[in-house]
Amino acid sequence: MAQAQINIEDRILGGLWGLLIGDALGVPYEFKQPRELPPASQIDFHPPAGYPRTYPTVPPGTWSDDGAQALALLDSLITCEQLDLDDFSARLIAWAERGEYAVDHRVFDIGVQTSEALRAIQHHGVPPTRAGYLRPEGKGNGSLMRVLPLALWHHGTDEDLVRDAHLQSIVTHGHETNQACCALYCLWARRLLQGLEWNEAYNDAVRTLRDLYRDLPSHEQALEWEIRPDSEPFSDGSGYVVASLHAARLALKEKTYPDVVKAAILLGQDTDTNAAIVGGLAGLRDGIQSIPVNWRSELRGQERLNPLVKKLLEHRHA
């Protein structure tokens, strides 16, 4: 069943802004346990007076590595008109080394596995197609948090989209579980962009991925035995990629964008990433107008975001 009519441009804007605002909203609360968090009514860019923010010198409304890497991917796709892993990895390195795509050019958060992979590419000549395998069992959420622009940009078939979701992951996170999470998320996002109801969109994405994985046994095993897409979602809020995907399933049950991202944050731990991941989906589901005006106005770095959004919309209309 399709949702209420929201035009595709509003959904795209909602997805990108939703990711970045979810990220920025979660930054002050990162690494906190649920018991250490304010009540939902007080979760904001500006935490309650006296609250011990995780990054006290980072101004409210600032996205972190999640948003920066998503913009690096978007810029690479727009510039190259395809997924080019050499270009994409160079942009990730430009972010990590010089703060490209970061607000104020300041990098204040980077995952261990991502950092190791980018150093291997930059300093040891490891190709981007191998860098994500340096930690064979590494299953952090670093490639899932940035993948949404791929689904928004992509004009290819579902099979093409899944292939590219895998490829963008292996630059930093090569395990089949990471690849499968990125693929499922991209299919889910595509269905939301098409206007399907959120749970119907998820179920259709699962069915499609199962069909595509019939000849990919290791990916099929990751999907069925680790992600377990039919099980009731459970998440401890951690940075484990499956926990983040299930956090999105849990939080998206909420009816409004603010309630969705707050639900993700209230799980604790990796608050910015989990809110970014599900914030993109909620923005796709509900459109840009669902995101509170004050959060949109207070988001920092808009001068970096807006030109990329304009180019993405031009690409979609081409």
pLDDT at 3 over 90: no
273 known member of a binding site: yes
pLDDT at 2 over 70: no
Residue 50 region by backbone torsions, left for phi larger than 0, else alpha for psi between -120 and 50, else beta: left
pLDDT at 28 over 60: yes
- Decide: 71 and 304 in contact? Cβ < 8 Å: yes
Query: According to the model, what pLDDT value does residue 1 have?
Result: 43
Extended beta strands in 91-204, E state: none
65 known member of a binding site: yes
Mean pLDDT along residues 272-291 = 98
Tens of pLDDT, residue by residue over 232-279, are 999 999 999 999 999 999 999 999 999 999 999 999 999 999 999 999
109 known member of a binding site: no
Of 110 and 4, the structure prediction assigns the larger pLDDT to 110
- Return the percentage of the chain with pLDDT > 70, whole number: 99
Query: According to the model, what pLDDT value does residue 4 have?
Result: 58
Band (146; pLDDT cuts 50, 70, 90): very high
pLDDT at 14 over 70: yes
In DSSP terms, 240 is beta-bridged to: 140
Domains of the chain in start order, with CATH, are: 8-37+63-317 (1.10.4080.10)
Average pLDDT, the chain: 97
Q: What six digits make up the tokens of 172?
A: 């930093």
Which residues 6+ apart lie within 8 Å of 299 measured at CB?
Answer: 17, 20, 21, 24, 61, 63, 305
Tens of pLDDT, residue by residue over 99-117, are 999 999 999 999 999 999 9
Band (59; pLDDT cuts 50, 70, 90): very high
- Decide: 230 and 264 in contact? Cβ < 8 Å: no
Band (79; pLDDT cuts 50, 70, 90): very high
Tens of pLDDT, residue by residue over 148-178, are 999 999 999 999 999 999 999 999 999 999 9
Tens of pLDDT, residue by residue over 31-47, are 999 999 999 999 999 99
Query: According to the model, what pLDDT value does residue 317 have?
Result: 87
pLDDT at 69 over 90: yes
Query: According to the model, what pLDDT value does residue 5 have?
Result: 87
